[in-house]
């Protein structure tokens, strides 16, 4: 009896279909399965690339990973993993509620979460939020608008914006902690990073020179799809559908407002993206008070 192919032969050459000739001999045919080594190597490369890009994203959006030297192309590759990093950050800052730390004092829990988020992200997004408030509320036009945004000093409008934003987030975090809704805190962090990706994707034509241009240039459908997948997966598994819908509506309203401002001022920079992250977090938290 004829012997079938050994396991080593399949691993090396792949499994082939055969064609039978008139004399009964098997003729080489096409591959039924590719080489197993090729598949393994392909997945290995994908996993290594994913790990590298994910930790690069984590190092940019937080202080949880050691900063890396990278070029412009590397920064653009981080965009697909924004929402996944938001998921990780959200899980970390939500630990006080999940573990029941100071559970009888939800306001204390909210303060811990707000402070932890500020520390982990280096306050990067709040800086953009304050800069944009300074420039927008001043009603400055043309180049003066961008001069105010680039000014490292904070003005009165920036302070008021921080009070409104951080005060509002503290109140909403208190409500989430009071109801023990730790998943809402994670959801808010995912929405925040998704908001930045949506704004980058929709505002590609309005990019300005600077770091933000690297993200807007690579904000393609693939990057947007990965972020939407993370958001939808977590939302459908853990978030009430009404809260999910309301928070997404609020997110879209804020992103459209930022996009309209960027179009009017003929530019979208990193401060716009940071503001989109803050607005996304507020949208996810605010929705629990509307349902």
Q: Give the tens place of pLDDT for each residue, 34-72.
A: 567 777 788 888 899 899 999 999 999 999 998 877 777
User: What is d(CA 202, CA 81) in angstroms, rounded to the nearest whole number?
Assistant: 18
Q: Cβ neighbours of residue 66 under 8 Å, at least 6 residues apart?
A: 59
User: What is d(CA 195, CA 198) in angstroms, rounded to the nearest whole number?
Assistant: 5
Q: Give the tens place of pLDDT for each residue, 75-127.
A: 888 999 999 999 999 999 999 999 999 999 999 999 999 999 999 999 999 99
In a domain, 265, yes or no: yes
Cα 108-113-118 angle, rounded to 5 deg: 125
In a domain, 17, yes or no: no
Residue 5: phi, psi to the nearest 5? -65, 140
In a domain, 101, yes or no: yes
What total number of domains does the chain contain? 1
User: What is d(CA 261, CA 38) in angstroms, rounded to the nearest whole number?
Assistant: 49
Packing angle of the helix pair 106-120, 156-178 (nearest 10 deg): 130
Q: Can you give the residue range of the structural domain that contains 256?
A: 72-289
Q: Give the tens place of pLDDT for each residue, 130-162.
A: 999 999 999 999 899 999 999 989 999 999 999
In a domain, 54, yes or no: no
User: What is d(CA 187, CA 282) in angstroms, rounded to the nearest whole number?
Assistant: 10
In a domain, 37, yes or no: no
In a domain, 50, yes or no: no
């Amino acid at each position: 009896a004829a012997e079938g192919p050994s396991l080593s032969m399949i691993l090396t050459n792949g499994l082939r279909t055969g064609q039978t000739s008139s004399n009964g001999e098997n003729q080489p045919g096409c591959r039924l399965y590719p080489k197993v080594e090729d598949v393994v190597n392909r997945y290995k490369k994908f996993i290594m690339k994913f790990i590298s890009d994910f930790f690069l994203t984590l190092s940019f959006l937080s202080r949880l990973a050691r900063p890396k030297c990278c070029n412009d192309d590397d920064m653009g590759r981080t965009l697909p993993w924004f929402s996944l990093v938001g998921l990780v950050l959200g899980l970390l800052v939500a630990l006080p509620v999940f573990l029941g730390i100071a559970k009888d004092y939800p306001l204390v829990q909210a303060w811990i979460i707000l402070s932890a988020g500020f520390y982990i992200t280096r306050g990067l997004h709040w800086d953009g939020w304050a800069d944009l408030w300074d420039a927008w509320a001043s009603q400055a036009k043309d180049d003066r608008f961008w001069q105010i945004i680039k000014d490292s000093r904070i003005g009165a409008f920036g302070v008021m914006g921080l009070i409104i934003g951080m005060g509002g987030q503290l109140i909403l975090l208190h409500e989430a902690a009071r109801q023990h809704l730790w998943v809402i805190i994670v959801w808010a962090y995912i929405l925040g990073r998704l908001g930045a990706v949506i704004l980058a994707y929709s505002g590609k034509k309005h990019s300005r020179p600077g770091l933000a241009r690297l993200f807007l240039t690579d904000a393609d459908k693939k990057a947007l799809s990965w972020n939407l997948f993370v958001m939808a997966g977590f939302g459908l598994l853990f978030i009430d559908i009404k809260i999910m819908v309301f928070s997404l509506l609020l997110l879209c309203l804020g992103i459209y407002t930022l996009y309209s401002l960027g179009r009017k001022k003929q530019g979208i920079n990193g401060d716009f993206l940071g503001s989109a992250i803050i607005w996304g977090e507020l949208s996810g938290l605010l929705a629990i008070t509307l349902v």
